[in-house]
Amino acid sequence: MTTDLIPTLTGNYYRDPEVLEREFERIFFRSWVLAGREEQLPEVGDYFTFELGPESVLVVRGRDGALRAFYNVCRHRGARLCAAREGRFEGAIRCRYHAWSYALDGALRAVPQPPDADKFPKDSLALYPVAVETWEGFVFLRLDPDGEALLDQLGALPERARPFPLASLRVGARAERTVAANWKILVENYMECYHCPGVHPELTDLVPLYRTGTVDASGSEPPEYREGACTSTLDGTTQRPIFAGLRDRPRQQYHAELVLPNLLLYLFPDYVCARSLWPVSPTRTRIVSEWLFEPDTQARSDFDASDAVDFMNLLGEQDWQVCEAVQQGVVSRAHRHGVMLPQESEVADVTRWYLAQFEAE
């Protein structure tokens, strides 16, 4: 093997249940992961539940307006507190099993028939907390109580995203899809465009650089759309206004960001698509996609999100088909590991990050 070829992960990383169990503990529980948007919780008492592997988390808007998150577990006998995906608490969080109730800040408020009300240790039986932070309207959770701040994990993304009005955008469309591939295969596919000329003819028509199989030739600036195109739709045009922070650019650019471990964030001139990857099993991944638009744009009588949705779904289906083919191959007894070419260097970077997290104590 030449020094230009970098080995991929071995096949067991994509099919072993014990690997996935360790990934939850070492990667997903220790990282900030996208849970939703602040707009989902506009009023006091509004809540949604969030599933992360074997864990369920409850996110609620408190009386002070702050967001708080807790394990969706009653402190009495461990019953799951909320079965619904979203709703509103009328004053308290109440367990349906024995009617223990908690304030919106997680404190235990009432216990029916306690053995000794004066001595009952209510203060030590609050809901188990989960770290929650927000960035530009996105709600992130981290199950591990110790770790870096959200902005540290985001790195340079906030600066690169500054021209986009992320905080004021609202969800205009949402879709879920389950793909028969390991979540890492989907991330690895996202991090290279070596496959683009053969898999994405519509994308390479819009972004000429991608015809070369290269993600970013300059290493600093995102690639530009072709002449006559200004956004990511099938024909490269849009009836939606370009975001104000981008209107002075002579040519619009195609922005695609990865927030490790599992958030694919597409920042386009007139809309944003947030796509997150959630392991269901070692060989299956649930993909949640949300398309975000400016509220004034959504309020227009001619608003139509279908061109943005159709384009991203087309690219997604093209990617997911080849990712499923990879999954089918890496489980072969003949497969030990693959190789990465120099133009797949960003895949190699992600692999090094993954191994550092996976092997960390």
Same domain, 71 and 172: no
15-45 residue pLDDT tens:
999 999 999 999 999 999 999 999 999 999 9
Q: Model pTM?
A: 0.95
Q: Is 101 part of a structural domain of the chain?
A: yes
Answer yes or no: do 119 and 262 share one domain: no
Quote the distance between the C-alpha of residue 254 and its chain's center: 19
Q: Tell whether 198 is covered by a domain.
A: yes
On whether both 323 and 202 belong to a single domain, the answer is yes
Q: Which two tokens stand for residue 289?
A: 């996609």
Same-domain check for residues 136 and 192 = no
pLDDT band at 361 (very low <50, low <70, confident <90, very high): confident
Whether residue 71 is found in the same domain as residue 219:
no
Residue 92, helix vs strand vs coil: coil
Residues of the chain by 3-state class (helix, strand, coil), percent to 5: 30, 25, 45
25 and 50 inside one domain: no
Residue 218 has pLDDT above 80, yes or no: no
Sheet holding 255-259, edge to edge: 170-179, 284-293, 272-281, 263-267, 255-259
- Name the DSSP letter for residue 243: P
Looking at the structure, do residues 184 and 205 belong to the same domain, yes or no? yes
Return the residue matching tokens 């009328």: 90
Measured distance CA(255)–CA(272) in Å, rounded: 10
Q: What is the pLDDT of residues 90-131, one digit of tens each?
A: 999 999 999 999 999 999 999 998 888 778 898 899 999 999
Q: Residues 189, 267: one domain?
A: yes
- Same domain for 132 and 191, yes or no, is no
Residue 298 burial by Cβ neighbours in a 10 Å radius (0-12, 13-18, 19+): middle
Q: Residue range 137-151: average pLDDT?
A: 95
Q: Summarize pLDDT for 243-295 with one digit per residue, the tens.
A: 999 999 989 999 999 999 999 999 999 999 999 999 999 999 999 999 999 99
**In 3D, which of 58, 57, 61 has the Cα closest to residue 42?**
61
Amino acid type, 361 = E
Residue 151 belongs to some domain of the structure: no
CATH classification at residue 113: 2.102.10.10
Note whether 50 and 174 are same-domain residues.
Answer: no
Give the count of domains, the chain: 2
Query: Does residue 204 share a domain with residue 69?
Result: no
**CB proximity list for 341: less than 8 A, separation 6 or greater:** 4, 5, 194
- At 3 the pLDDT is 57
Cis peptide leading into 261, omega within 30 of 0?
Answer: yes
* CATH code of the domain containing 172: 3.90.380.10
Instruction: Write the DSSP symbol of residue 80.
Output: B
Taking the C-alpha atoms of residue 327 and residue 44, their distance in angstroms, rounded to an integer, is 44
CA of 39: how far to CAs of 138, 166, 168, 173, in Å? Answer: 9, 12, 9, 14
For residue 48, the enclosing domain spans 31-146
Distance CA 57, CA 83 (A): 11
Residue 237 belongs to a domain:
yes
Find where tokens 């249940």 sit: 17
User: Which residue, among 77, 64, 322, has the nearest Cα to 192 in the 3D structure?
Assistant: 322
**Domain match, 197 and 292 both:** yes
pLDDT band with cut points at 50, 70 and 90 for residue 1: very low
Q: Are strands 129-135 and 93-94 parallel, antiparallel or unpaired?
A: unpaired
Question: Final residue of a domain: which of 146, 177, 193?
Answer: 146
Q: Is residue 253 part of a domain?
A: yes
Domain final residue, candidates 82, 117, 146: 146
Query: Is the C-alpha dihedral spanning 292, 294, 295, 298 positive or negative?
Result: negative
Q: Does pLDDT of 229 surpass 80?
A: yes
Convert 270-293 to b/e letters by CB count within 10 Å (16 or more is b): bbbbbbbbbbeebbbbebebbbbb
Q: How confident is the model at residue 220 (pLDDT cuts 50, 70, 90)?
A: low
Is 140 part of any domain? yes
Given 115, 146, 177, the domain boundary residue is: 146
